[in-house]
Structure 1
Amino acid sequence: MILEKKIDIFMSVTEIIKPYPKRMRAIHIVLFFVFFIVSCGPNTSGQYKYEPPKSSNDGLNTGHLNEVGMDSVIMGKAIKKAQQGKFRQIHSILIYKDNTLVLEEYFPGHKYQWDARKHEGEWVNWDRNMLHSIMSDTKSITSVCIGIAIDQGFIKSVHQSIFDYLPEHQHLRTGDKSKITIEHLLTMTSGLEWSEWQSPYSNLENPIIAIWYSKKDPLSFILEGQLVHEPGTSYSYYGGNMIILGEIIRNATKMAIDEFSAKYLFDPLGIEVFDWSVQFNNGVFEAAGGLRLKPRDMLKIGITFLHNGVWKGNRIISEQWVEKITTPFHGNTAIKVPGEDSDKIAYSYSWWIDQFSYSGKTAEGFYAGGWGGQKIIVIPKLNTVVVFTGGNYTSKLRQFKLLEKYILPSMS
């Protein structure tokens, strides 16, 4: 990622010196390349020095890797490789084990910008106080909100028709579309045609992008789509499902998802700063990928699920919902996620389920996963939560390699 940054600088320099005489331009370019070659040499500034995460008044206990039996030498190698860009553009790595945050590292990288080259916006030095776009981890948070709405009695059941909570779209309650339930949206089995994984996220042919350019309201754009499978029978990754779920929360609770999540999820977890600002012109929230959180607050979500829905002795969500999240929905197995460095995995109530291999061992886990490398990974067997943020929007992710080759072996 350092190389990419230097290339961006070079392109900027060439634009600045365009008005200069030809000979002067040549001198500037030669001087730049001398700097480029020298600065791209081996990093001799010293080895990575581990420091335990700083304690903060946020409800997270902090400690040293050695206190939880993790090998600081192995982790030192991993962080050094991350600093060198061996795992592509990683913005943060947080590790929580045995009720303790033992590693918290941040790296420089690009902010997300949809209309920029490779979606790479401003170059920043990420830190714990900065909100990060969590992309499709948002889907997992929206799922949590649905579960809480059921726990609180606002929604009766996941088996209800979605149209029970969409009063302005009753005219679309026709044929087999009337059979689409809340559960079908949560599990990506609505049966509606949606080819999100067939086109890049920079292409207007991708429906999750095209929806922003449609003259229709977002829910009509989604629900007027062709029903190509019987609801509940076929998996298809579909961001539109989550946008509908956001509106179901609004109509069932009389609170938009930003207000509802603040009251019933974020406030109880001590999450004070978050951003649901991505909205369509009519006020509908982009509940599929529009949330921004701090990495430590992403960690709190994972810890709550590690503890079966409880945070600091307070139940946030029911054990039944945690069980739904950690159990593959029937038929939602052997799914290959584009750009991921993992084998085929399973999908549940908007969370992924996987088995991690390390040092001749295996451990079951589940995670929220977002485009570019946003992860909340929960591994109950190891009493561990790992959080990643990143900016790999057009390149293959290598986070699971880091997890299985370094992080998990350091716990052996």
Structure 2
Amino acid sequence: MKKLILLISICSLISCNNCPSVYSYQSPEFENDGVNVGTLNQVGIDSLKIANLVDCIYAEKYGQIHSVLIYKDSLLVLEKYFEGHEFKWDGPNYYGEWVKWNKTTPHQIMSCTKSFVSACIGIAIEKGYIKSVHQSIFDFLPEHQQYRSDGRENITIEHLLTMTSGLQWDEWHAAHATSANDIDRLYIECWENPLNCVFERPLVAKPGEEFTYNGGGLIALGEILKNATGMNLIEFGKAHLFEPIGINNMQWDTFPKGEVEAGGGLHLTPRDMLKFGVLYLNNGVWNGEQIINADWVEKSATVYRNNSGIKIPIEDSGKNGYGYTWWISEVDDGSQKTQMYRANGWGGQVIMVLPKKNAVVVFTSGNYSSKSRLFKMLERYILPAMH
């Protein structure tokens, strides 16, 4: 019995990960960018468990991880970068050039982009450019009035934010790089007019009733914001969201006629991703200024109607809820459960907001053709380290 207890204690100490010990902790550097830094010990995080995590990332136990950042109790206490492949659409496993990632290297954040678009819509409503999320999307799409029929006229801004437009769409089950995948079809067949590919799809459910993940709806939201404010998404976001929270190094992909790739085309550094997470952790406040309405943050972190029990392919996230473009989950480290909401992107890009822990965790990754296991890292190492 004593031997068993000793074995359990040793396994607890080293996390039983069998990963070679190569990492020596260093606290993040202060950059005078609005993010305060500190050490793991300052916020009561077990540095040994975090070292175990980093060692296992080096050993590629969790695939290709490009960065991990931990922010707790108003301090950035871990900022670690690794080597890995850039994303390349037509490369093997979607891999391009091998990169040594660092704090200045922008990363394509994939569908995390959607949460930034949602924030811009919330700001536009707060500033009076848009009256309500309950307005028909076709109030703001004068060049697409031909689709305002057959029930599509009942699709609102809120329906696009919550993936409940009712339009037929599949970007999770059909093979990538084919027209069978509706999000890829935008680039293969509808590069010149992406919104036509979105709105020509038949309505198969009453708007607001059923969840169907639809990145094309976010591209429509970008055009709605442009027509409502007179500024495109890039200009509006820069003026009202990015610059106010100190994000100055962003890149955003666009379509040939200027539509912003609002479903997944934003490139940011992981530290700038963290700033956005901190903004939401603080209920939309940055440096004492209310950037996003607190009610909007709450709706982002609240499951919309029937948007629950959702499983995301090639992820270990289990069942999820969905709010205003944010995923809502419960994580379990074996001793306690913790509520979390997150901006989530293909390949393992994520901004995790954990209000009860007063924490934000950011990952960037290159696991585009393999299962993302970010939840396992959170539950095995990061949350236990916070006890």
TM-score normalised by the chain length of structure 1: 0.88
| 1:141-220 aligned within 5 A | 141-214=116-189, 217-220=193-196
Aligned equivalents of 2:210 and 2:107: distance in 1?
A: 32
Residue 104 of structure 2 is aligned to residue 129 of structure 1: yes
Aligned equivalents of 1:228 and 1:286: distance in 2?
A: 25
Deviations 1:105-164 (A, max 9, x none): 001000000000000000011000000000000011111111011011110000000000
Structure-2 residue corresponding to 1:30:
none
Deviations 1:37-70 (A, max 9, x none): xxxxx997x6310000011111111111000000
Aligned equivalents of 2:334 and 2:49: distance in 1?
A: 13
Query: Which of 198, 212, 223 is matched with 1:236 structurally?
Result: 212
Deviations 1:152-187 (A, max 9, x none): 111000000000000111121113111000000000
Q: Tell me how far 1:253 sits from its aligned partner.
A: 0.5
Structure-2 residue corresponding to 1:319:
294
Structure-1 residue corresponding to 2:233:
257
Aligned equivalents of 1:75 and 1:172: distance in 2?
A: 52
TM-score normalised by the chain length of structure 2: 0.93
Residue 276 of structure 2 is aligned to residue 301 of structure 1: yes
Q: Tell me how far 1:204 sits from its aligned partner.
A: 2.9
Structure-2 residue corresponding to 1:383:
358
Identity of aligned residues (%): 51
The code of the aligned residue for 1:294 comes to T
Aligned equivalents of 1:306 and 1:196: distance in 2?
A: 30
| 1:9-408 aligned within 5 A | 47-214=22-189, 217-276=193-252, 278-408=253-383
Which segments of 5 or more consecutive residues in structure 2 lack a partner in the other structure?
1-17
Aligned equivalents of 1:60 and 1:358: distance in 2?
A: 28
Aligned equivalents of 2:225 and 2:176: distance in 1?
A: 26
Q: Tell me how far 1:353 sits from its aligned partner.
A: 0.2
The structure with the largest alpha-carbon Rg is: 1
Aligned equivalents of 2:276 and 2:201: distance in 1?
A: 33
SS at match of 1:80: helix
The count of residues paired between Structure 1 and Structure 2 equals 369
Deviations 1:254-294 (A, max 9, x none): 01100000000001001111001x22121111100000000
Contact 2:167 2:203 in 1 (8 A): yes
Deviation >6 Å, runs of 4+: none
Which segments of 5 or more consecutive residues in structure 1 lack a partner in the other structure?
1-41
Aligned equivalents of 2:329 and 2:243: distance in 1?
A: 30
Cα RMSD between the aligned structures?
1.2
Aligned equivalents of 2:375 and 2:109: distance in 1?
A: 17
The code of the aligned residue for 1:115 comes to D
